[in-house]
Structure 1
Amino acid sequence: MFDFVHNIDIWAAISFILGFIFVIIEMFFPGFGLPGVVGLIFLFIGIVLTAKTLTDVLVLLAIILLILAVVLAIAVRSASKGRLKKLVLTDSLEKESGFEGTEDFTSFLGKEGVALTALRPAGTAEFDGVKLDVVSEFDFIEKDAKVKIVKVEGRRIVVRKID
Structure 2
Amino acid sequence: MLNIALLSIGFLGLVIAAVTPRSTLGGAVSLLSFAAYFFMNENDEWYTIIIFILGISLLIFEVFIPDFGIAGIIGVLLIFFGLYQTVGDLGQAIRDLSIAVLLSISLIIVLAKKGYSFDNFSKLVLKNDLTSERGFSSSIDHSSLLGQTGKTLTALRPTGKAVFEEITLDVLSQNERIEENVLVEVVKVEGSKIIVRRVIENE
By the TM > 0.5 criterion, same fold? no
Sort the TM-score into its range (normalised by shorter chain). 0.3 to 0.5
Ranked by relative contact order (alpha carbons within 8 Å, sequence separation 6 or more), the top structure is 2
Q: TM-score normalised to the size of structure 2?
A: 0.34
Task: Pick the structure with greater CA Rg.
Answer: 1
Q: TM-score normalised to the size of structure 1?
A: 0.40
Kindly indicate which of the two structures has a greater share of residues assigned to helix: 2
